[in-house]
Amino acid sequence: MYRRCLITVLSLMIFLAGCQLPGGKPSGAKEGYFTWVDEQGQVRQTLIPVDGSPDENEDWAETPHSEFNLQNYPDGDSLAAQGHIRPGDPEPYFTWRDARGNVRVSYYRPDTRTAVEKGDIKPPLELTEASIYQAGDKSADREPGSEDLPQGADAMAAAVLGLDERDAPFFVRWAEACCDTLDRSAYIDWEPGREFGVTLEESSPAFDFITGNSHYRLVRLPETKDFILRLRSFDQRGLFVPSVAFLDSEFRPLRLVTDLVAEFVPESWRQHGYLRSYIPVFPSREERWLLIYTTSEDIEGQTVIDTRYGPRAIAHQPTGQIGLVRVEN
């Protein structure tokens, strides 16, 4: 009797192991399960039968199901945008008791706005898009033609091959032309805690930058932690379109920010319209001076804005009024 039972158990174990051998097809291979959560938070699994041969059912997932579809199980983000109210459902309500003791029902529509849209919190600042050139870039540090000619080659070869100073990286050429000879007698100290004005006028010093002759102003930056600069250029019968350069304590250029894609804010009853830019400042990287200037290309251009009367073109000019302030992100 004992041997008969042992043989039976061993036979059963061999049969079960055979069901799990590689290549074997487990029972229910043509069936799937839909996992969902009920109203009590319990995880449920519902069997999804698939009838017919595999060839007949290869596109079964694309066929609308009578129960498991977007109407019964809508996209969570879409449902949230509708206040978690499905089409045809009644609006939510709350009950309350009035001064006479009568029970009242008030329906309401959920507020689906974000905290930023409600004004509860400020939206994060977005830095203004611009072309940025800085010291330390691999392309900015190499000498003109150093990667084009082998070391020790004849200098005349550069002229023969057409490799001259104009082929140097933009930052290298800009820095070689500026800024140790700038007039520093009329610089402006940074004014903390408030927005302060910087005026560029015909009497302001001018310099021949490689991007064209321009009036400029120097602002001595505070030696604080890094911060975001808000720069506003006001529309006073024309716009001064700024570019900026950051210099170290020896007036060596460290970083250029130009071709700013500034936002234009229309005029109101209390102020002129203006171009607004947000630019990061890095005192931790030895940035000690802010140089404000413009380019010949910007002076020749114009800014076109939409008004209720139609498009309006604002001419660019070589002078203007700038407002600077540190802002919190």
pTM of the model: 0.59
- Which residues are registered as beta bridge partners of 131? 258
Q: For the chain, which residues make up each domain, given as ranges?
A: 64-122, 131-327
- Which residues are registered as beta bridge partners of 248? none
The confidence score (pLDDT) of residue 67 equals 73
The confidence score (pLDDT) of residue 301 equals 94
Q: For each of the chain's 329 residues, which pLDDT tens digit applies? A: 444 444 444 444 444 444 444 444 444 444 566 677 777 767 777 776 655 554 554 554 556 667 777 777 777 777 777 777 777 777 787 788 888 888 888 877 777 666 666 666 666 778 999 999 998 654 434 443 344 445 554 444 444 444 454 567 999 999 999 998 899 888 999 999 999 999 999 999 999 999 999 999 999 999 989 999 999 999 988 999 999 999 999 999 999 999 999 999 998 888 889 999 999 999 999 999 999 999 999 999 999 988 888 899 999 999 999 999 999 76
The confidence score (pLDDT) of residue 255 equals 96
The confidence score (pLDDT) of residue 46 equals 75
In 10 A of CB 167, how many CB atoms?
A: 13
The confidence score (pLDDT) of residue 107 equals 77
| CA max distance for the chain | 117
The confidence score (pLDDT) of residue 16 equals 44
d(CA 33, CA 45): 6
The answer to whether 266 and 272 are in contact (CB under 8 A) is: no
Structure tokens at 10: 């061993």
**Phi/psi at 32 (nearest 5 deg)?**
-130, 170
The answer to whether 243 and 252 are in contact (CB under 8 A) is: no
10-22: per-residue pLDDT in tens? 444 444 444 444 4
167-225: per-residue pLDDT in tens? 679 999 999 999 988 998 889 999 999 999 999 999 999 999 999 999 999 999 999 89
Q: CA angle, corner 53, sides to 48 and 58, nearest 5? A: 70
Q: Which of 140, 169, 144 is nearest to 159 (CA)?
A: 144
The confidence score (pLDDT) of residue 17 equals 44
